[in-house]
Amino acid sequence: MNAVHIGVINVSDRAAAGVYDDVPGKAVVETLREYLTTEFEPVYRVIPDEQPELEAAMIEMADVHGCCLIVTTGGTGPAPRDVTPEATEAVCQKMMPGIGELMRTTSLQYVPTAILSRQTAGIRGSTLILNLPGRPKAIRECLDAVFPAVPYCIDLIEGPRLETDESVIKAFRPRSA
């Protein structure tokens, strides 16, 4: 069996320029290591807020590396340079509005500005692409909220079967699956 690949993209002008430490991307990888008992190999990139570059990275991770999941952090706000949702939509065949809705509802328990987040998710072939916010605390809150549905989603798009550490997070698969 092939290794399971998961893409992680920290979308940030400042992290890409080395001005900021790459904290959010590392936070995602650590969280996924806590969640998953299935072994996986991260495919990791730090990319500035440039839509063409971001699209190219997602396409490569999906089509060349065969990532079953790509998680982005950052670039989902209203600022002129924030283009992560646009890049995601451009490379996906199907959009998954419920994932962004739940992430916003979750973040709204903590900050009223959660409604400014334009996070989305979509499907490209057998890859689920998921936008997360850029702040490590919000990243964990959003991932905790939506991850229980992620393994079943990846089953449905014919990706590898992901198993979680149920003491950390419990994947839900409807009985008929």
Number of residues located near its own copies, criterion CB under 8 A: 39
CB of 8 to its own copies, least distance (A): 20
Alpha-helix runs per DSSP H in 76-135: 84-91, 97-108
Beta strands in 38-175 (DSSP E): 41-47, 69-73, 94-95, 121-124, 127-132
Q: Using the rule CB under 8 A, which residue among 16, 123, 129, 130 binds its own copies?
A: 123
Q: Is 162 in the site for its own copies (CB under 8 A)?
A: no
- CA pair distance 126, 6, nearest whole angstrom: 12
Binders of its own copies in range 135-154 (CB under 8 A): 146, 148-149, 152-153
Q: Binding mask 11-50 vs its own copies (x if CB under 8 A, - otherwise)?
A: ----------------------------------------
Residue type, position 37, single letter: T
Nearer to its own copies, 38 or 106 (CB): 106
Residue type, position 107, single letter: S
Nearest alpha carbon to residue 59 among 16, 29, 88, 96: 88
- CA pair distance 160, 68, nearest whole angstrom: 7
Q: Using the rule CB under 8 A, which residue among 1, 2, 39, 80 binds its own copies?
A: 80
CB of 80 to its own copies, least distance (A): 7
Q: Tokens 């990275």 belong to which residue?
A: 57
* Token pair in block for residue 70: 């790509």
Nearer to its own copies, 45 or 128 (CB): 128
Contact positions toward its own copies, by CB under 8 A? 77-80, 82, 86, 94-102, 104-105, 108, 111-118, 123, 128, 146, 148-149, 152-153, 156-158, 172-174
